[in-house]
Structure 1
Amino acid sequence: MIRQLNHMLERRLPEKRVFLRSDNDTRYLRLSPLTQLAVVFGTSVTIVWMTIATSIILMDAIGSGNLREQANRDLVLFETRLSQLASERDTRAAEAAAAQARFNTALKQISVMQSNLLSSEERVRELETGIDVTQANLRDALKVRDDAIAAQETLAAQVNGTDVSPTGVTSKDMEATVDVLASALSATSAERDAMVVDAHQAVTQAKTLQVELKLMEEKNDRIFSQLEDAMTLSVAPLDKMFRNAGLSTESLIKTVRNAYSGQGGPLTPITFSTSGHLDHDSERANGILDKMDRLNLYRIAAQKAPFALPVKNNFRYTSGFGPRWGRMHEGTDFAAAYGTPIYATADGVVTYAGWQSGYGRLVKIQHEFGIETRYAHQSKLLVKVGQRVSRGEQIGAMGNSGRSTGTHLHYEVRVGGTAVNPMTYIKAANDVF
């Protein structure tokens, strides 16, 4: 068969001889057509394979460059959005603080006006009582005067022009008595007129205070509305962030409130108003204070849950959460330069810092709400077991230790011991931080 193939190929690939000459001898190698065909085929296959491999390498390099540039652009946009949201959050906090100050000032003014109004009403009641007493005294004085005049006329008729009555009372004494009564009547009338004027002034002042109180209530209502809107805009994004991360907001608030249970200060709810019971404004104030307390608790909880990125330098995602190569990949991989700083994504306590099979150099951090984060394949560790770390604190550097094909960070989030997708928390925080 080989001879037949050589014979068929001789027309296109004639036999070649390669002579090898030495000082003592001359030899040659005979290259049959089939051998030449095998060499040509092997050479062609090698050239084609090298061409394809080179193309794949170039395409991968170009694709990696594009992904890196896209990741850099996304990071810049993320940082810009983060700065804008932080600025907006600070503005909302400043507006809420200013509105709280205006609200406290309005409450003080309303308290003073209510005190003045109560004093005016008490004065009006006192004046009305005085008028009633004066009128009673006046009626008694008029009755006494009428009785004295009748007695005088009776005595005058009895004495028939004499100065002494049968009882021994003279007409001069009767006239003196009448003059005293008339003088007392005049004084009582003057006092009554003065009290009437004072009562009219008190009523006018009370009406003026009522108008001012109405204006103050309208101003207070505007302040309440601004505070309620500010609290709604501040609390809603945080509430949405926790719900998108699959966390129970009520459970979070209960846990944080139990850990921070001190009371007192400007955020203490109002129990009773100046009138001794809760009015509408006090209920609205308590509602605002409750939202401010909820906002504060949310901010504390946000520091204790892993909503931040573990890498702040330029990086690219190389592998996500989910099945990979027939097995479950329980985290997210971030690729960057060797030695890139790695940061804690939330406040917590280091429970493991050392070498672990497969993970290489590994750091485990236990957070609140039963959440644990893991940072694997590091080149060096900067924390130790039992150390308390804060969100954004560096805990190590990126490396290639353990079961790894290149420099990267394997980042895991576990809730109650079960691995969950870390991007759930990172994406949930995009509209807040």
Structure 2
Amino acid sequence: MRQRLSDRISARLEGMLPEQRLYLKSDEGTRFVRLRPGTQAGLLVGGAVLVGWSVVVTAFFIIDGIAAGSGRDQAARAQIAYEHRLEALSGERDARATEAEQALSRFYTALDEVSEMQEALLASEQRVRELETGIEVIQRTLRRTVGERDAAREETRVALARLEDAPEAAANAQARREDAEETLNAIITALESTAQERDKALVFAEAADAEIERMEVAAALMAERNDRIFSRLEQAMETSLTPLRRVFERAGVSTDSIIDQVRQGYAGTGGPIEPLVVSTRGDASARIDRDTARANSLLDQMEEIDLHRIVAESLPLDHPVRGSYKRTSGFGPRWGRMHSGVDFAAARGTPIHATAAGTVTHAGWQSGYGKLIKIRHPFGFETRYAHLNRIRVAEGQRVSRGERIGDMGTTGRSTGVHLHYEIRRGGTALDPATFISAGRDVF
């Protein structure tokens, strides 16, 4: 049975691939090589397998290149979009701060005008009280004078009755009566003048009340506008602060102690706004205190944003490799040992950049790491760049974020061209991937 099957296969191959002879002619004679159907089939199958393997490998390389290019494009677009959003938020914050300062200036000017009006009103009220006191004194004097006049008239009548025959006494009585009438006329004139002044003071007081009511309405409108401005400013502050807080959360760094250190050496200017104390008839003073508290809160948030940005610029959040690269190994256990960093593979000589500003503490050979650069950063952070082909910095040198410090290589204990990148704090290794991921929201 097996022989028949073999014969059939051989017959089929001979029909499709007949036996071929390859003649080789030389000076010694002519030779030939016989290519049997089985040999030809083996050559064809081997060639097809080789061609298929080449196509598959080429496809893998093409797909890998396309995926890497697409990821870089997406990262670049995300970075550009975040930068635009951060610039817009910063511009809106500055505009809202300017509007708040202008609104506070206008509000304080209005309060000054109200204070002046109140002073004028108090002066007019004092004048009215003085006039009323004068009127009461005049009225008491008038009543006493009228009583004296009546008594004088009675005495005059009695005296006239008794002294009808005494011309000299009558003349004296007539003189006293004329003096009393003159005094009464003077008192009446003074009362009329005082009444006119009182009426003018009342008119001025009514006008002052109307002006104060108008100023209170304007102050209420301004307060409402200030509320809207403060609300937009508070929203803008929260929008600016949230991404920075998210950066530290994603990096796994507690910023309380770091912020305290930055605040101790913070060179910002300004300070809290002291509340104004004015005399008003409503709750304007309470309103001013609320606005002052909100303004101080905004200033505190602006200071917190500045402190967070200072810390973010000091942390190693940038990427050490720019351009085309491939991440070949992550942070964590590997082959029974702890891998304390991440590996990035690229071509030999690929530029390596500092991920944050700092001071170079080591620039040379170290066992296992090969050519190694160590950079000390603020707040106890340290970054390491190992297996370099070339070192471009020296110990003690200050470097900036993004500055080229070396070239990628394969020195030390390495299986290929790559960068071994570590982040440490207080000697403890941290996962660089979280810092790089968080840095995409900042840089």
Q: TM-score, normalised by structure 2?
A: 0.80
- 1:354 alignment partner in structure 2: 364
CA distance in 1 between counterparts of 2:186 and 2:49 reads 135
CA distance in 2 between counterparts of 1:163 and 1:213 reads 71
* Distance apart, 1:290 and its partner CA: 1.3
CA contact (8 A) 1:67 1:316 kept: no
Unaligned runs of 5+ in 1: 1-11, 13-39
CA 1:171–1:129 in structure 2 vs 1: closer, same or farther (change >3 Å)? Answer: same
CA distance in 1 between counterparts of 2:323 and 2:144 reads 109
CA contact (8 A) 1:128 1:199 kept: yes
Of residues 393-402 and 80-89 in structure 1, the stretch that sits farther from structure 2 once superposed is: 393-402
- The DSSP-based 3-state class of the residue aligned with 2:324 is coil
**For 1:373-392, what aligned pairs fall within 5 Å after superposition?**
373-392=383-402
Of residues 90-99 and 396-405 in structure 1, the stretch that sits farther from structure 2 once superposed is: 396-405
1:273 has 2:294 as partner = no
CA distance in 2 between counterparts of 1:52 and 1:297 reads 63
Aligned counterpart for 1:220 among listed residues 219, 226, 231: 226
| 1:7-64: CA deviation from partner (whole Å, max 9, x where unpaired) | xxxxx9xxxxxxxxxxxxxxxxxxxxxxxxxxx99xx8xx97x998987676455434
- 2:309 alignment partner in structure 1: 299
CA distance in 1 between counterparts of 2:62 and 2:337 reads 29
* Distance apart, 1:328 and its partner CA: 2.7
CA contact (8 A) 1:163 1:171 kept: no
CA distance in 2 between counterparts of 1:352 and 1:202 reads 78
CA 1:54–1:377 in structure 2 vs 1: closer, same or farther (change >3 Å)? Answer: farther
Aligned counterpart for 1:115 among listed residues 87, 102, 112: 112
**For 1:95-114, what aligned pairs fall within 5 Å after superposition?**
95-114=92-111
* Distance apart, 1:303 and its partner CA: 1.0
- 2:81 alignment partner in structure 1: 84
Letter in 2 for 1:164: N
- 2:405 alignment partner in structure 1: 395
* Distance apart, 1:263 and its partner CA: 5.0
- 2:381 alignment partner in structure 1: 371
Aligned counterpart for 2:184 among listed residues 171, 178, 182: 178
* Distance apart, 1:86 and its partner CA: 0.7
CA contact (8 A) 1:111 1:274 kept: no
- The DSSP-based 3-state class of the residue aligned with 1:106 is helix
Letter in 1 for 2:418: H
Letter in 2 for 1:72: G
Of residues 153-162 and 251-260 in structure 1, the stretch that sits farther from structure 2 once superposed is: 153-162
CA distance in 2 between counterparts of 1:353 and 1:423 reads 24
- 1:205 alignment partner in structure 2: 211
CA distance in 2 between counterparts of 1:119 and 1:187 reads 28
- 2:155 alignment partner in structure 1: 158
CA distance in 2 between counterparts of 1:300 and 1:411 reads 23
| 1:282-335: CA deviation from partner (whole Å, max 9, x where unpaired) | 221122111111111111111111111111212121222223344332221112
Aligned counterpart for 2:269 among listed residues 242, 245, 264: 264
* Distance apart, 1:173 and its partner CA: 1.9
- 2:26 alignment partner in structure 1: none
- 2:133 alignment partner in structure 1: 136
CA distance in 2 between counterparts of 1:271 and 1:147 reads 58
- The DSSP-based 3-state class of the residue aligned with 1:170 is helix
- The DSSP-based 3-state class of the residue aligned with 1:149 is helix
What percentage of aligned pairs have identical amino acids?
38
CA contact (8 A) 1:375 1:410 kept: yes
CA distance in 1 between counterparts of 2:94 and 2:131 reads 55
Of residues 279-288 and 147-156 in structure 1, the stretch that sits farther from structure 2 once superposed is: 147-156
- 2:62 alignment partner in structure 1: 65
Letter in 1 for 2:269: G
Letter in 2 for 1:354: G
| 1:377-400: CA deviation from partner (whole Å, max 9, x where unpaired) | 222222111112221111122223
CA contact (8 A) 1:243 1:249 kept: no
CA distance in 2 between counterparts of 1:75 and 1:216 reads 50
- 2:282 alignment partner in structure 1: none
- 1:237 alignment partner in structure 2: 243
CA 1:364–1:56 in structure 2 vs 1: closer, same or farther (change >3 Å)? Answer: farther
* Distance apart, 1:258 and its partner CA: 2.2
* Distance apart, 1:113 and its partner CA: 1.6
Of residues 127-136 and 180-189 in structure 1, the stretch that sits farther from structure 2 once superposed is: 127-136
1:255 has 2:256 as partner = no
* Distance apart, 1:415 and its partner CA: 2.1
Letter in 1 for 2:172: V
CA distance in 2 between counterparts of 1:150 and 1:271 reads 63
1:195 has 2:194 as partner = no
CA contact (8 A) 1:307 1:428 kept: yes
| 1:149-181: CA deviation from partner (whole Å, max 9, x where unpaired) | 33233323333463423xx95332222212211
| 1:408-428: CA deviation from partner (whole Å, max 9, x where unpaired) | 221111122122221011122
- The DSSP-based 3-state class of the residue aligned with 1:279 is helix
CA distance in 2 between counterparts of 1:299 and 1:401 reads 37
- 1:419 alignment partner in structure 2: 429
CA distance in 1 between counterparts of 2:438 and 2:409 reads 28
- The DSSP-based 3-state class of the residue aligned with 1:365 is strand
CA 1:56–1:351 in structure 2 vs 1: closer, same or farther (change >3 Å)? Answer: farther
Aligned residues: 386
Unaligned runs of 5+ in 2: 1-9, 11-37, 161-169, 279-284
- The DSSP-based 3-state class of the residue aligned with 1:74 is helix
CA contact (8 A) 1:68 1:316 kept: no
Letter in 2 for 1:381: I
CA distance in 1 between counterparts of 2:197 and 2:69 reads 90
- 1:15 alignment partner in structure 2: none
- The DSSP-based 3-state class of the residue aligned with 1:120 is helix
| 1:195-249: CA deviation from partner (whole Å, max 9, x where unpaired) | 0011101111111111011011101111110011011111111111101211112
Letter in 2 for 1:207: E
CA distance in 1 between counterparts of 2:49 and 2:371 reads 38
* Distance apart, 1:349 and its partner CA: 1.2
